[in-house]
Amino acid sequence: MNNTKQPLYEELFARNYGIFSEQEQDRLRKARILIVGCGGIGGTVAIMLARSGIEKFILVEFDAYDTTNINRQISCFADTLGRNKAEVIGEDIRRINPHAEVEIHPRLLNHAEIAQLIPQVDVVFPAADDFAFSILVFREAKRQGKPALFVVPSGTWANVSILLPEGPTIEKIQGIPTLETYEQLYEMFRTRKYKLGTYFYTFLAGWRIDYYQRFLDEDLPPTQLCPVVWLCSSLGAFEVIKLVCGKWKPIAAPRFWYITQNKIKVMNINSISIHTFLLWQRRLHWMLFQTAFKGILEKIQNLFWKYFYRVMKWKEV
């Protein structure tokens, strides 16, 4: 039997009280967070929030760690390969704070089941690898009047924001067509003509052009880099802390953190910028592809890709 006395909450987070009042820290302690997807960003945000004094979590993740997760996922080690991600993150949270309350769902929940969890929490973080699945979680959080954290990294590029119930939708801040069902969203994200709308990954996110071509044609997953994944996760965790403790105003949509390999700044989706141009471009392209002009548009897009590939390949040499 282990008779070691557990440290008090105030002892574990004593350094926080140089920043937060007792009331503010207590708000953190009592906050409950739902994280759907405990991989690169979901697991990292969970650990950072636990180390900040939040001690009530609901973790949802069906997947297990594999070797491709080693390069960025905070609790993926040689001795956790093959284990469920939510269970490992839950164990790590309890190692940080033995007082923590962690509810774990180590299986694939459907959207109806997740909808039943949302009323129990203060903040929702849709962080599933399947972005179509996450979009429906964002919609449900908004419908139920709950704020949601948005963090999306790709290579050396990332966006971070809090989505408040009264604010813009996830579709508006990412330039995503508003499709009704999960099946429609899933197929759209896999469609080559839509994926080509992310060509900016090659010059804003540091993707090599051959990897991007395989992303288009062979369905490779988005490339990720640990410092960027942890950087945007840190900003996401900080925005949750700001939202929950009430000490500072969070960066909430339409404002968002914009990260590239040489820049971190707060932007607005309504500002005049290349980011705003790309959002409108993706939205407009999808609308036009549903019209009678889709045939000629696909030819134009393929011609653009042919020369864009050559230029980017030349720049890499």
Q: Which domains does the chain have, with CATH numbers?
A: 9-177+222-269 (3.40.50.720)
**66 has a pLDDT exceeding 60:** yes
Radius of gyration of the chain (CA): 21
CB-based contacts of 277: which residues, under 8 Å, 6+ apart?
none
Average pLDDT over residues 89-98: 98
Closest by Cα among 38, 21, 40, 41 to 29? 21
How much is the pLDDT for 280? 83
> 1 vs 126, which has greater pLDDT?
126
**260 has a pLDDT exceeding 70:** yes
pLDDT tens, residue by residue, 175-185: 888 899 999 99
Token output for 77: 């080690």
Interatomic CA distance for residues 169 and 181, integer angstroms: 16
How much is the pLDDT for 160? 98
How much is the pLDDT for 1? 44
Distance between start and end Cα atoms, the chain: 63
Q: What is the pTM of this model?
A: 0.95
**195 has a pLDDT exceeding 60:** yes
**219 has a pLDDT exceeding 70:** yes
pLDDT band for position 272 (cuts 50, 70, 90): confident
As to burial, measured by CB atoms within 10 angstroms (0-12 exposed, 13-18 middle, 19+ buried), residue 177 is middle
Interatomic CA distance for residues 103 and 84, integer angstroms: 14
Average pLDDT over residues 255-282: 89
pLDDT tens, residue by residue, 21-62: 999 999 999 999 999 999 999 999 999 999 999 999 999 999
**286 has a pLDDT exceeding 90:** no
CB-based contacts of 148: which residues, under 8 Å, 6+ apart?
123, 124, 125, 126, 137, 138, 141, 142, 162, 163, 170
How much is the pLDDT for 94? 98
Per-residue DSSP letter, 191: -
How much is the pLDDT for 2? 53
Average pLDDT over residues 81-103: 98
How much is the pLDDT for 232? 98
pLDDT tens, residue by residue, 98-147: 999 999 999 999 999 999 999 999 999 999 999 999 999 999 999 999 99
- Token pair 């997740």: residue: 114
The pLDDT > 90 percentage for the chain reads 82
**304 has a pLDDT exceeding 80:** yes
How much is the pLDDT for 60? 98
CA angle (160, 248, 128) in 5-degree steps:
25
